[in-house]
Amino acid sequence: MIIVILFSLIFSLVTLMFSFLPDGNVLPFGTDNILVTAVQTVYAFIDVFPPIGIVFQAFSVFILYKIGMLILRLFIGHRAPN
C-alpha cells in the first residue's frame, strides 16, 4: 500500500502543480477565435466540395510528417534522414 500512497502523492503533486497554471481551454491572444473561424470556414467549403477535405487531410498528414521528422532529428541527431 505504501506504493499506492507514494503514487497518490506524486499524482496529487502533478495535479496541484498544473492547477496553478493558467487555463488552457482557450488559445491565448485571441488566436482561438481566429483559428476556429478559419477552420470552420474550411469545413464549410469541405461540405460543399469534398475534394477540398481530402487535400486538407493530406496537408495535415504532411505537416505531421514534418513535425515527426523534427522530433526524430532531435532524438537521434545526424542519423535521422534530413
Partner 1 sequence: MKYIIKFFLIVVFIAMPVAAPRVFAATLTFSKITTEFYVDNAPFKCLYGYSYPPPGYNSAYYPAGPGQLQVSVVLLPGGSPLSDGTYIVYSGPDVASNCMDSSNPTFLSDNGYFTVLGGVITAQGPVSAFIDTSTHIISWVPITGSTVATGTQSIGFTGWINEDDFEEDMYFSFRNNCIEPLCNAFNDAFLAGPIYITNSGEFSFSTSTDLQSVGLHSEDVKIFSPTFNVFGYPLFYQQILSDSSQYNVGTSTGFFEGIIDELQAGLASSTAQFSQVCNPIGGNFTVSLCLLAFVYPSADQIQTMLTQLQTQAPWGYVFRFYDIVAGNATTSTSSLPVISYDVSSTSPFGPLHIEFDLFGAIRGTDSILNTAVSDSDNPKTLWQIIDPAVYFLVYLLLIILIFRDLTKSNL
- 74 in contact with partner 1 (CB under 8 A): no
- 70 in contact with partner 1 (CB under 8 A): no
Binds partner 1 by CB under 8 A, chosen from 29, 48, 77, 78: 48
DSSP-derived letter for residue 28 is T
Q: Which residues of 24-49 are buried (b: 16+ CB within 10 A; e: fewer)?
A: eeeeeeeeeeeeeeeeeeeeeebeee
Which residues lie near partner 1 (CB under 8 A)?
Answer: 1, 3-16, 18-28, 32, 35-36, 39-41, 43-51, 54-55, 57-58, 60-62, 65-66, 81
